[in-house]
A = this chain, B = another copy of it.
């Protein structure tokens, strides 16, 4: 009766990798990274923890899949090629927005990246942009990776303060600060790195 892919009432529901990642993202958004355990993901899916190991070999690769979904909306460089300064800033900002969309997003992505389970986000776009502006390749590489690490590190820091504020607020019974204030030195740090690369490139132009 039921067409393939639809669940009849009799057959038990079956989960796909996508469903598992969805459940994990839901827990991440509402509970945060410390509560993102295999057992809670299983609960959310109405399944036993061991079932998850049919979909993923271990927790690390599951979290890497979650990281990739968080980064999926990271904007690519627009066409036609924008100026270095504007383009690099836009890429950095877009990356930060992705990370801020989920609680502890930067920490999660950083650790997946550190374990070599995902590619450095936005780095390819930055590299291409830099090379399009005839930046020396070695400098382009350094500038891209420095910028990406700055965004990750800074956003991690911002989100960690947000978590601390959260526990402090909940201890007093106060409402949690919902939105992330633009805060502070994000723009300054990005500008520093972008400008530094530009200036060094001028001092040592490509033949």
Residues of A whose CB lies within 8 Å of any CB of B are 107, 114-116, 138-139, 141-143, 145-146, 149-150, 152-154, 156-157, 160-161, 164, 185, 188-189, 191-193, 195-197, 199-200
Q: How far is the CA of A60 from the CA of B196 in the complex (A)?
A: 37
**Chain B residues whose CB sits within 8 angstroms of the CB of A157 once the complex forms:** 114, 149
Contact present for A200 and B192 (CB under 8 Å): yes
Contact present for A154 and B149 (CB under 8 Å): yes
Interface class of chain A by DSSP: helix
Contact present for A138 and B188 (CB under 8 Å): yes
Contact present for B200 and A146 (CB under 8 Å): no
Contact present for B192 and A160 (CB under 8 Å): no
Contact present for B142 and A149 (CB under 8 Å): no
Contact present for A192 and B185 (CB under 8 Å): no
Contact present for B142 and A189 (CB under 8 Å): yes
Shortest distance from the beta carbon of A56 to any chain B beta carbon, whole Å = 19
Q: How far is the CA of A150 from the CA of B150 in the complex (A)?
A: 7
With A150-B149, A156-B114 known to touch, is A142 a contact of B188 (CB < 8 Å)?
yes
Shortest distance from the beta carbon of A199 to any chain B beta carbon, whole Å = 5
Q: How far is the CA of A193 from the CA of B199 in the complex (A)?
A: 11
